[in-house]
Chain A
Amino acid sequence: MPSTQNPPIAGAAIDPPSLRPPIDDAAIERVQPSRLRERLEALKRDGCAILLDLGAVDYLRRTPRFDVVYHLLKLAPVRAGVAEVATPMRTRLLCGVERDEHLPSVMDLWKSADWAEREVYDLFGIVFDGHADLRRIQMPRDWEGHPLRKDYPMRGPARERAPRPAFANKSNVVAGTPPTGRTLEALQEQVKRARES
């Protein structure tokens, strides 16, 4: 069983993944945020028709702190009728981002970046400039904090001190008391009365 404390926060020991030899079949590149947009446009022109995925990783103690990870899929050009897909290829683009740094949105290149960027914003707090509708997607609108950050506590004392959403602080809910007053004593009393009658 996992302990009730927070798992140890690692991250300082991790090299940027692109410095190690790749173990999957994707071509791996690392770009600076300033050159990201340019590079993605070039890749799209080059035939990367699908933005497979857009996610992020928090390397807490590293600089830059976050990696935003783009996975692109290159397909053969679409011909009329049934397109044969010859030699598809994946490309992974990693972009290091500091905590307050913004990234350019790629919503205009791939429409699917819409929800993916909203999710990264929601769970990591990374802002994408130029996104038409950047708001929370998975968490409730009034949620505070970004849960997939490594310093966002899951459980343990730090979690108790973390900001709670408004709906969790309702005064009529008292921990440990069943809502309808059906306590064990009341039930035992009821059973006892039923037996006596």
Chain B
Amino acid sequence: MRASALPTTEVVSHDNTMVLSMGPQHPSTHGVLQIVLEIDSENVVKADPEIGYLHTGIEKTAEGLFWTQAQTVIERMDYLAPSSNALCYALAVEKLLGITDRIPARAQTIRVMDMELTRIASHCVWLGTHGIDLGAISVFFYCFDLRENILDLQEANGGARMHPNYMRVGGCNGDLPGGYLAKLDALIEKFPGRMRELRGLLQANPIFQDRTIDVGILTPEEALQWSVTGPSLRASGIAYDVRKAFPYTGYDSYDFDVPTRTEGDAYARFLVRLDEMEQSMRVVAQARKRLDEPGPVMIDDPKIALPPKETIALSMEALIHHFKLISEGFRVPPGDVYQAVESPRGELGYYIVSDGENRPYRVRTRPPSLYNLQALKGIAPGNLIADLVVMIGSLDPVFGEVDR
């Protein structure tokens, strides 16, 4: 099939090329992506993604909310990995407040565990939908079963499946509930078997290989030019991972590898993500061991953390702190900061400016999906339309984040 695809250099605009709109309702565009395609028979001459269909002005909204309230909307950017948004924002605000060193150890462990579980859950959605795009329907059900286990855990500690709002400035919102660790142990036990099944369904599948190997090749130079980060960059042979390069919330004390491939095609990105899921579970298992030790999960600072609910009826000070925090929030010293975390899609960064008030002055997001998706303009020309679906899937964009 691919033998008929012309090499990039031979596909040029001429009088008989056709302009075709793909999306924004196309099922394989994972949300609301429109691509204006210029095609020569089945070959893509030019692909111009149109974004903005899901623009909700989250950055503008955040400027009108208290520092804590803003986190609620920020979590809705990358809706497949809400914890990474929340953690990155919380870390940035903590740096501005100068309390980074005072976050309790248990809170940091929970954060790491939650981040890695989120990464697995997010990759599950990617793998399931990527499979569906290529006609492998059953993978989706295996993936969503695994994801459901993780969402159960998220629901247990945060109270909501999709947007738990569990990471807070200063720590986490409440300790893990009873029975959580038993559920986590069960998941850690179940995971390797489930991964074997997922690999068995796709990795050696000749149809899957035929559709993904040598499709959408991203050379290291191109990847850097397009600011691609995350698994897509690592599949092109550049081992840049924010967790290793700029460790945050104690990642330097965990033992894990950064999976890398050199081929740079859709199959390499698939393999890197699968390896990454296993590495994530390795980190979760290490974090699980540290969770046996009890301890506080929120910073001991009444100006930032809400007092425990039960003290409000008994202590006047607790009542005052509670009232002040709810009605006017806390103030953050003026300054600007850039904080990045490794989200499932790549380097997620926040550039936050504070003017000393109780609301953020500016919250600029560096969404990994936006930059990764942009690379489509570079890798699509010269490929078949059918392969475009593979390329979009392998870049794993989330449109809540692209459009914000």
Chain A positions within 8 Å of B, measured between CB atoms, are: 2, 6-8, 10-11, 13-15, 17, 20, 23-26, 49-53, 55-58, 69, 71, 73, 75, 78, 81-85, 88, 90, 92, 110-112, 114-116, 136-140, 147-148, 152, 154-155
Residues in B348-370 with C-beta less than 8 Å from chain A: 349, 351, 353, 355-357, 359, 361-362, 364, 366, 370
| Cα–Cα, bound, A69→B363 (Å) | 12
| Cα–Cα, bound, A146→B229 (Å) | 29
Q: Determine if A7 and B63 form an interchain contact, defined as CB atoms under 8 angstroms apart.
A: yes
| Cα–Cα, bound, A15→B357 (Å) | 14
Residues in B369-398 with C-beta less than 8 Å from chain A: 370-371, 374, 377-378
Q: Is the interface of A mostly helix, strand, loop or mixed?
A: loop
Q: Determine if A17 and B353 form an interchain contact, defined as CB atoms under 8 angstroms apart.
A: yes
Q: Determine if B370 and A110 form an interchain contact, defined as CB atoms under 8 angstroms apart.
A: no
Known: A78-B220, A111-B226. Contact between A57 and B95, CB under 8 A?
A: no
A-chain residues with CB within 8 Å of residue B246 when the two chains form the complex: 25, 88, 90
| B53 → chain A closest CB, angstroms | 9
Verify if B245 is at the interface (C-beta below 8 Å from A): yes
Known: A51-B227, A85-B240. Contact between A14 and B245, CB under 8 A?
A: no
| A138 → chain B closest CB, angstroms | 4
Known: A13-B356, A69-B351, A115-B374. Contact between A57 and B338, CB under 8 A?
A: no
The answer, among A49, A58, A71, A85, for a CB contact under 8 Å with B351, is A71
Q: Determine if B370 and A115 form an interchain contact, defined as CB atoms under 8 angstroms apart.
A: yes
Verify if B239 is at the interface (C-beta below 8 Å from A): yes
A-chain residues with CB within 8 Å of residue B64 when the two chains form the complex: 2, 6-7, 154-155
Residues in B211-240 with C-beta less than 8 Å from chain A: 220-221, 224-227, 229, 237-240
Q: Determine if A112 and B226 form an interchain contact, defined as CB atoms under 8 angstroms apart.
A: yes
Q: Determine if B351 and A53 form an interchain contact, defined as CB atoms under 8 angstroms apart.
A: yes
| Cα–Cα, bound, A78→B260 (Å) | 14
Q: Determine if B69 and A49 form an interchain contact, defined as CB atoms under 8 angstroms apart.
A: no
| B253 → chain A closest CB, angstroms | 18
Known: A71-B338, A82-B260, A83-B238. Contact between A114 and B374, CB under 8 A?
A: yes
Q: Determine if B337 and A24 form an interchain contact, defined as CB atoms under 8 angstroms apart.
A: yes
B-chain residues with CB within 8 Å of residue A148 when the two chains form the complex: 59-60
A-chain residues with CB within 8 Å of residue B349 when the two chains form the complex: 52-53, 71
Q: What 7 A-B pairs have minimum CB-CB distances, sorted nearest first? A: A112-B227, A55-B364, A17-B336, A53-B366, A138-B55, A138-B52, A49-B224
Known: A10-B357, A23-B95, A57-B353. Contact between A17 and B60, CB under 8 A?
A: no
| A15 → chain B closest CB, angstroms | 7
Q: Determine if B221 and A24 form an interchain contact, defined as CB atoms under 8 angstroms apart.
A: no
What total count of A-B pairs have CB within 8 Å?
139
Q: Can you spell out 22 A-B residue pairs with CB atoms less than 8 angstroms apart?
A: A2-B66, A2-B69, A10-B357, A14-B361, A25-B246, A26-B338, A50-B227, A50-B229, A57-B336, A57-B361, A58-B362, A69-B364, A71-B366, A73-B240, A83-B220, A110-B227, A111-B226, A112-B371, A138-B403, A138-B404, A147-B57, A152-B60
| Cα–Cα, bound, A58→B225 (Å) | 28
Apart from the given pairs A55-B351, A88-B246, A112-B225, 7 other A-B contacts in the complex at a CB distance below 8 Å: A8-B357, A14-B334, A50-B227, A52-B366, A82-B262, A111-B378, A154-B64
The answer, among B55, B98, B240, for a CB contact under 8 Å with A75, is B240
Q: Determine if A24 and B65 form an interchain contact, defined as CB atoms under 8 angstroms apart.
A: no
Q: Determine if B335 and A20 form an interchain contact, defined as CB atoms under 8 angstroms apart.
A: yes
Closest residue of B by beta carbon distance from A122: B52
Closest residue of A by beta carbon distance from B359: A7
B-chain residues with CB within 8 Å of residue A155 when the two chains form the complex: 64
| Cα–Cα, bound, A137→B69 (Å) | 27
| B263 → chain A closest CB, angstroms | 11
B-chain residues with CB within 8 Å of residue A112 when the two chains form the complex: 225-227, 371, 374
The answer, among A17, A49, A58, for a CB contact under 8 Å with B335, is A17
Residues in B226-272 with C-beta less than 8 Å from chain A: 226-227, 229, 237-240, 244-246, 260, 262
| Cα–Cα, bound, A2→B347 (Å) | 31
| Cα–Cα, bound, A4→B30 (Å) | 35
| Cα–Cα, bound, A13→B98 (Å) | 21
| B400 → chain A closest CB, angstroms | 13
| Cα–Cα, bound, A115→B51 (Å) | 10
Verify if B28 is at the interface (C-beta below 8 Å from A): no
| Cα–Cα, bound, A50→B220 (Å) | 11
| Cα–Cα, bound, A17→B338 (Å) | 12
Verify if B85 is at the interface (C-beta below 8 Å from A): no
1/0 per residue, CB under 8 A from A, across B55-85: the answer is 1010111011110010000000000000000
Interface centre among A2, A52, A110, A147 (most CB of B within 10 A): A52
Verify if B165 is at the interface (C-beta below 8 Å from A): no
Known: A2-B64, A17-B335, A85-B245. Contact between A78 and B356, CB under 8 A?
A: no
| A132 → chain B closest CB, angstroms | 12
| B329 → chain A closest CB, angstroms | 10
